[in-house]
Amino acid sequence: MKIGIIGAGNIGANAAKLFTQAGHEIAVANSRGVETLKDLIAELGQNARAASIEEAAQFGEIVFVSIPFGKYETLPADAFDGKIVIDSNNYYPDRDGQFAALDENKTTSSELLAEHLRGARVVKGFNTIWFEHLKTQGDKDLPVEERRAIFIAGDDAEAKKTVGKLIEEIGFAPVDTGSLRDGGEVQQPDTAIYNRNLTAREAHAILGSEGY
């Protein structure tokens, strides 16, 4: 599968490593330009290349977005038409600035991204796991229910299924929290599952006890 990675910080770079190790072809982009990606691309090997943001979006069947949420409107919306987009972002007002619609619980950050990328199929995911755990805790030898959970949410069932398969390929367990609205709320910072080291079995128990 071809995967575009937009954002080469801690989450984006580690996701890129896991995807290439699983045999996928990737194109990596960041806001500073392809020259700044030389070391990462060399580390990733022959299945990876540096690209502009628009090129990475057009390249991928899946596009993994890992940029500060406050910059989401800088993404070239047309380049994402028809793509499955994994939204790994979180809203942090101190970093991103204030978004009244989010502060007033009128919507979620992933819904705002989906509104901007109208032709894309957005799946929230990879936003509740610390990058060090993403780097080290995947284990394909474990039964899925005993693996570390990576939560997903979205309004497109087939897109979630595709992302879930990718999560299993890198040794984690996909746990579906629902729609971009309700499921996205469940995954926000300071919730019961945010940044917690949970197996899929434990995650399902918590989600059930919380009434989700």
Whether the predicted pLDDT of 36 surpasses 90: yes
Cβ(85)–Cβ(117) below 8 Å: yes
Residue 73 CA to residue 93 CA, distance in Å, equals: 16
Q: pTM value?
A: 0.95
Mean pLDDT across 182-194: 93
What is the domain range of residue 175? 2-209
- Looking at residue 208, its pLDDT comes to 85
Distances (CA, A) of 89 to 10, 26, 48, 105: 12, 19, 23, 17
Cβ(168)–Cβ(174) below 8 Å: yes
Cβ(160)–Cβ(152) below 8 Å: yes
Q: The domain spanning residue 32 has which CATH number?
A: 3.40.50.720
Alpha carbon dihedral 123, 60, 134, 175, in 10-degree steps, equals 30
pLDDT confidence bin for 28, thresholds 50/70/90: very high
% pLDDT > 70, the chain? 99
Total of domains in the chain: 1
- Looking at residue 91, its pLDDT comes to 95
Whether the predicted pLDDT of 212 surpasses 60: no
